[in-house]
């Protein structure tokens, strides 16, 4: 990727900042030979590192501190949001503009309007990101945040299956803490479940589901998930198909 493409992807990013990161060794773009001077080719990993460092730098962190934060294992969380009336599409676009957000979707028939998945360096950044939207009126009330203890995504699953002709849903599963490992192993055998996270709080697991239709969703939840003896209860959020956003 050329520098002009990187600059287009990260709002406000300055060219000299990118060159400074390269001089410090924080990024190492490949050099593509040209007739007069070599062109830099930035990888997706370079772009994500630039994005993270620029975000911390704009918030007043020194580059060394920003580098340490960006290098930390990422903390994941889900947030359940109430959105302003009749502004759901605009709110979804505002969520997509937050660099901390990896996925956002509107929901059918739930007591919340949207579900958001975030990835940050530390837990406090989840609230910082969402508070920026709350202060601008992009969220109608304080969010319910579910912090992820650990998560698993199973390779090869969900390659566009739920985004075009099918359905996506998130299922909150409650069960005894000592049974979580066995339940995760059982969920992994179900190809419709593309990822699952163990979360803190009253609910124990949140599973992302991609199915072809309502009948498949009903079968998965009522005949297979509820067939796991240790499952005490489930709560299902169905995603609005054309109002879903996921970071590449």
Q: What is the CATH number of the domain that holds 168?
A: 3.30.70.3460
Q: Are strands 167-174 and 233-246 parallel, antiparallel or unpaired?
A: antiparallel
Check residues 74 and 159 and name the one with the higher pLDDT. Answer: 74
Sign of CA dihedral 89, 110, 127, 100: negative
Q: How many residues does the chain have?
A: 248
Q: What is the pLDDT of residues 33-55, one digit of tens each?
A: 876 777 889 998 899 889 889 98
Q: For position 36, which CATH number holds? A: 1.10.1660.10
% of the chain exceeding 90 in pLDDT = 52
Beta bridge partners of 170: 208, 237
Contacts of 62-69 spanning 24+ positions with Cβ under 8 A: 63/20, 63/21, 63/24, 63/26, 67/26, 69/121, 69/122
> Which domain does 172 fall in, by range?
75-246
Check residues 95 and 137 and name the one with the higher pLDDT. Answer: 95
Q: What is the 3-state secondary structure (H, E, C) of 58-103?
A: HCCCCHHHHHHHHHCCCEEEEEEECCCCCCHHHHHHHHHCCCCEEE
Domain boundary among 71, 103, 130: 71
Please check whether residues 83 and 66 belong to one and the same domain: no
Q: What is the pLDDT of residues 180-227, one digit of tens each?
A: 999 999 999 999 999 999 999 877 999 999 999 999 999 999 999 999
Please check whether residues 29 and 125 belong to one and the same domain: no
Please check whether residues 123 and 52 belong to one and the same domain: no
pLDDT of 28: 92
Please check whether residues 197 and 106 belong to one and the same domain: yes
Please check whether residues 67 and 79 belong to one and the same domain: no
Q: What share of the chain is helix, strand, coil (3-state, %, to 5)?
A: 35, 30, 35
Domain boundary among 28, 51, 71: 71
Domain boundary among 27, 49, 71: 71
Domains contained in the chain, number? 2
Please check whether residues 174 and 144 belong to one and the same domain: yes
Q: What is the pLDDT of residues 95-110, one digit of tens each?
A: 888 888 999 999 987 8
């Amino acid at each position: 990727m050329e520098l002009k493409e990187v600059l287009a992807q990260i709002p406000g990013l300055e060219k000299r900042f990118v060159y400074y990161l390269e001089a410090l060794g924080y990024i190492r773009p490949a050099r593509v030979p040209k007739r007069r001077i070599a062109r830099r080719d930035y990888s997706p990993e370079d772009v994500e590192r630039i994005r993270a460092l620029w975000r911390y730098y704009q918030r007043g962190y020194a580059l060394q501190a920003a580098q340490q934060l960006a290098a930390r294992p990422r903390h994941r969380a889900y947030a359940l949001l109430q959105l302003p009336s009749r502004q759901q599409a605009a709110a979804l676009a505002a969520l997509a503009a937050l660099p901390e957000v990896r996925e956002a979707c509107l929901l059918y028939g739930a007591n919340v309007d949207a579900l958001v998945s975030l990835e940050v360096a530390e837990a406090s950044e989840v609230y910082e990101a969402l508070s920026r939207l709350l202060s601008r009126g992009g969220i109608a009330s304080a969010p319910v945040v579910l912090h992820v203890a650990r998560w698993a995504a199973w390779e090869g699953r969900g390659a566009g299956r739920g985004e075009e002709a099918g359905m996506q849903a998130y299922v909150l599963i409650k069960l005894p803490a000592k049974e979580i490992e066995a339940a995760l192993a059982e969920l992994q055998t179900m190809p419709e479940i593309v990822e699952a996270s163990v979360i803190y709080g009253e609910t124990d697991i949140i599973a992302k589901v991609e199915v072809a239709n309502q009948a498949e969703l009903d079968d998965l939840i009522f005949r297979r998930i509820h067939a796991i003896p240790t499952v005490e209860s489930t709560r299902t959020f169905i995603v609005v198909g054309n109002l879903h956003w996921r970071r590449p």
